[in-house]
Chain A
Amino acid sequence: MDADEVRSTAALGSVVRREREGRGWTLAELSARTAIPEPNLSRLERGLVDVRLSTLQRVADALGAEITLRPVGRERRLDEVVREAQEARDRIIAAGLGESDPWARLARRRARGEDTRVEAEALRRRDGSTA
């Protein structure tokens, strides 16, 4: 998980909601995992409460996250980026969305009047295929 800089209750709520949704969980599922009533979680996600640290810790534990204070400014190592990209790719495929088709993308751009010949030639050389 990437680290988030949170500077307001609204931003905190947005992060919690995104993390919950990113796991495909409903509010009810997060409530069951944290033993925090669903309305309280809803208010937390909407940034309407100044949440206690102990409550936030339970939410973080359920989401597999940790609360940290760190200096601003961050770089990611290449191996981290590659691993996260692989996880993202697996998620996209598992969700049944299939892989992006470069030939279909070029066809769309051609239909809009763009000259795609240079890219198509490079793609043909790379893939050994045509479309």
Chain B
Amino acid sequence: MTAAVSEATGTEYVLVGGAAVNVHTGGYRPTDFDLVGPLGPAVDRALGVLGFARRGRFLVLAAAGRELVLDLPDDTLFDLAGDPPDRVVVAEGVTAAVLSATDLMMDRVLQATDGTAITLEEAVRLAVGAYRRIDWRVLESRSRVASEQGSGAYALLPATLHRVRSLARRALRDLNAARGEAADGLSPRA
């Protein structure tokens, strides 16, 4: 999808949001595809050639009884993003740009500052799934700077990041311990 939209519009879009979470962790079942890149009537026209029709803020492609929902929320990445996007080679000479795991973690932690269980769970899922692909040192630094310069959600970033990382570490430790116990259980005993 990302590569097709980039090809149709002649410019690179970056996959963000839930579909990007799905790329990094699988099993997310996104409700739409969020792409960041140029906006405007020319983009709508180019995507119209592919069969997309505007429905409110979305562009929808209907085919075979299903609908593919595309959202172009912004023309630039959110202000706490700092990495070049990952590039996935989907075919010979064709790549799709996807928000890096570190930037995605920043986005999910920012959402988790709303204090709801669901956003916290989503952030912890990403942290557990992609823990080793996330640059935690960079996140700590960015969240600290953001909290010093901002207010509201930004002020909550360091504590929320710490909570998400702690929960993920605990889950990974428990998982490691459980796997160790399972292995022991399979071992022959004298």
Is residue B25 contacting chain A, with contact meaning CB distance below 8 A?
A: yes
When distances are taken between beta carbons in the complex, the residues of chain A under 8 Å from B185 are none
Min C-beta distance of B24 to chain A, whole Å: 7
Mask, A95-113, CB within 8 Å of B = 1, is: 1110110101110100000
Question: Given the known A-B contacts A88-B25, A97-B125, A106-B31, are A21 and B175 also in contact in the complex, defined by CB atoms under 8 Å?
Answer: no
Q: How far is the CA of A99 from the CA of B67 in the complex (A)?
A: 22
The reply to whether A85 and B31 form a contact with Cβ atoms under 8 Å apart is no
A105 engages B18 (CB within 8 Å): yes
User: B27 to A100, Cβ gap below 8 A?
Assistant: yes
CB distance A100 to B29 under 8 Å?
yes
Q: Which of B65, B130, B137 contacts A11 (CB 8 A)?
A: B137
Query: Chain B residues with Cβ under 8 A from A123's Cβ?
Result: 31
- Over the window 11-50 of chain A, the binary record of Cβ atoms lying under 8 Å from chain B Cβ atoms (1 yes, 0 no) is 1001001110111111000000000000000000000000
**Are B87 and A75 interface neighbours, CB within 8 A?**
yes
Q: Mark contacts of A42-66 with chain B using CB atoms, 8 A cut-off: 1 yes-contact digit, 0 otherwise.
A: 0000000000000000000000000
**A contact residues, range:** 35 or more
- Min distance, Cβ A28 to any Cβ of chain B, angstroms: 12
Shortest beta-carbon distance, B155 to chain A, in Å? 20
Q: How far is the CA of A95 from the CA of B179 in the complex (A)?
A: 10
Set of chain A residues within 8 Å of B135, measured between Cβ atoms: 4, 14, 18
Could you tell me how many residues of chain B have their Cβ less than 8 Å away from some Cβ of chain A? 55
Q: Which B residues, 10 to 37, have Cβ-Cβ distances below 8 Å to chain A?
A: 18, 21-32
Which residues from B are CB-within-8-Å of A86? 26
Q: Of the candidates A2, A77, A104, which one forms a contact with B132 in the assembled complex, judged by CB atoms under 8 Å apart?
A: A2
| Complex contacts, A22 vs chain B, CB 8 Å | 131-132, 172
Interface of A is mostly: helix
| Residues in chain A near residue B131, CB distance under 8 A | 18, 21-22
Shortest C-beta distance, B50 to chain A (Å), equals 16
**Does B122 touch A at the CB level, under 8 Å?**
yes
Q: Which chain B residues in 125-161 approach chain A with CB under 8 Å?
A: 125, 128-137
B121 within 8 A of A: yes
Partner of B172, one of A24, A74, A89, A126: A24
- Cβ of B9 < 8 Å from any Cβ of A? no
Q: Does A69 contact B (CB under 8 A)?
A: no
Which residues of B57-73 are within 8 A (CB) of A? Answer: 58, 60, 65-69
* 11 pairs of residues in contact across A and B, judged by CB atoms under 8 Å: A14-B136, A21-B172, A85-B24, A89-B25, A95-B171, A97-B171, A104-B118, A105-B18, A105-B31, A115-B56, A122-B60
